[in-house]
Structure 1
Amino acid sequence: MAPAPALHRIGLTGGIGSGKSTVAALWREEGMRVIDLDAHSRAVLDVPGDGVEEAIARFGEELRNAAGTIDRAAMARLVFADDAARADLERIVLSRVDEAVAREEAEAAAAGESLVVHDSPLLLEKGKEGDYRAVVAVLARREDRIARVMRDRGKDREYVESIMAAQVTDRERILRADRLVLNTGTREQLAARARHTLERLRADAP
């Protein structure tokens, strides 16, 4: 997926509970266009439209929930046990995510913007760092991350640790990212670090 001419991408990533979404929100407040890839991905199955209908055509009407969208729990059970089904679902979702991202990038280019940020939680897991001018990883202490998700999302420790186990380690993030934002203090400290990183990214842009 090549960016629009003269438009440079920054990848923003981080593990569950790291504070990546907080950094994304802070950058939006600073005037950056932040494209939320996870939100676009969820919308394919959670919002009535072509994506839902293609998924129903492929997997069956029994996957439609009362709201007319996809029963995510039933879909998860299906694709977990069937590699071909999982590949088809990824194709349905990712093709539409690419289209949505391309529309946002075209809007950015038309507005004369030179930088866009992709908020992408699985950027490194999918080996996509080569798509970006720079990759920024948000890091936080493991126990802080677990406590944050348990408090804010009502999840148990086992759930958080299972998600962590499926994501790259912080060591990998340190080795593969171009810049790091440490979420190891107060929200005010995180905001200052996020703004400093954004200033450096803007200064380095052509």
Structure 2
Amino acid sequence: MSTTTDPVRLGLTGGIGSGKSTVGALWRQAGHRVIDLDAHSRAVLDVPGDGVEEAVARFGEEYRGADGTIDRGAMARLVFADDRARSDLERIVLTRVDEAVAREEAEAAAAGEPWVVHDSPLLLEKSREGDYRAVVAVLARREDRIQRVMRDRGRDRAYVESVMAAQVSDLERIRRADLLVLNTAGRDELARRALHVLGRALEV
């Protein structure tokens, strides 16, 4: 009888504009399984399916967009003003994210992969450090982060700073993470640092 072993989990996190997703992409390009929790979260409301239908059933048909997905603007206005609505939306989304992550981990186990990375922007905000053998945080200069998001995502400074204010500080990331990747140079140097830190994380 064949058996499978659950892969070891590593956590990858970082604030908005830090370069966390770039580090995750570099690890993925190097052949490692990186599970993007944020992508799974977006898919719940951005792809027609059970998540959208449950959200519409809970909040009303007026929150369904013309394309059949959730109208994120209308939903954001609701949940930012109503704690119970926000809690219900988080339950709808996170239940499905957990299911999607479990499927990916099962695939990794069946393939004999010894470990997986969770790319999780809210890992520290949700106090999930205990779920991982090691947590890697990506850090970058505050102004670099602001400029990066404004350039790449078309957001204004006020938006970026508001998101930063809702996330843990870099000092908190330094205190709570096991290892750090400093995104303070070019992409080639970031790749070198990211792969070096990944090797160290697997030794923790």
Q: TM-score, normalised by structure 1?
A: 0.95
- Alignment-derived partner of residue 66 in structure 1: 66
The aligned counterpart of 2:119 is: 119
Q: Which amino acid aligns with 2:123?
A: L
Q: CA deviation at 1:165?
A: 0.6
Q: In 2, distance between residues paired with 1:162 and 1:184?
A: 23
2: CA distance, partners of 1:32 / 1:201 = 13
2:136 is the alignment partner of 1:131: no
User: CA deviation digits over 1:155-194, x for unaligned, max 9?
Assistant: 1111111111111000000000000000011111101000
* Structure 1 residue matching 2:181: 3-state secondary structure: strand
The residue number in structure 2 matching 1:49 is 49
User: Partner residue of 2:34?
Assistant: 34
Q: What one-letter code is carried by the residue in structure 2 that aligns with 1:141?
A: R
Does residue 157 of structure 1 match 2:162?
no
* Structure 1 residue 5 displacement after superposition: 3.9
Q: Residue 155 of structure 1: SS of its match in structure 2?
A: coil
- Unmatched segments (≥5 aa) in structure 1: none
Corresponding residue for residue 13 of structure 2: 13
Paired amino acid for 1:167:
Q
Q: Give deviations 1:37-86, integer Å, cap 9, x for gaps.
A: 00000100110100100111111111111101100111111111211111
Q: Which residue of 2 aligns with 1:140?
A: 140
Unmatched 5+ stretches in structure 2: none
Residue 128 of structure 1: how far off its partner (Å): 0.6
**Cα separation, partners in 2 of 1:46 and 1:192, compared to 1, 3 Å:** same
What secondary structure is seen at the aligned counterpart in 1 of 2:113?
coil
Distance, in Å, in 2 between the alignment partners of 1:64 and 1:101 is 26
Question: Deviation per CA, 1:143-166, whole angstroms, max 9, x where unpaired?
Answer: 111111111111111111111111
Deviations 1:110-158 (A, max 9, x none): 0001110000011001111111110000000111111111111111111
Query: Alignment RMSD, CA only?
Result: 1.1
TM-score, structure 2 as length reference: 0.96
Conserved 8 A contact 2:179-2:201: no
For residue 35 of structure 1, give the secondary structure of its aligned residue in structure 2.
strand
CA distance in 2, matches of 1:156, 1:78: 22
Distance in 1 of aligned mates of 2:151 and 2:45: 27
1:171 matched to 2:164? no
* 3-state SS of 2:68 partner: coil
| Residue 45 of structure 2 corresponds to residue 84 of structure 1 | no
Matched residues, number:
201
1:181 pairs with 2:185:
no
Query: Identity across aligned pairs (percent)?
Result: 79
- Partners in 1 of 2:115 and 2:93 — Cα distance? 25
**Distance in 2 (alpha carbons) for counterparts of 1:172 and 1:182:** 15
Tell me the distance in 2 between the aligned counterparts of 1:76 and 1:151. 23
Query: Which position in structure 1 is the counterpart of 2:93?
Result: 93
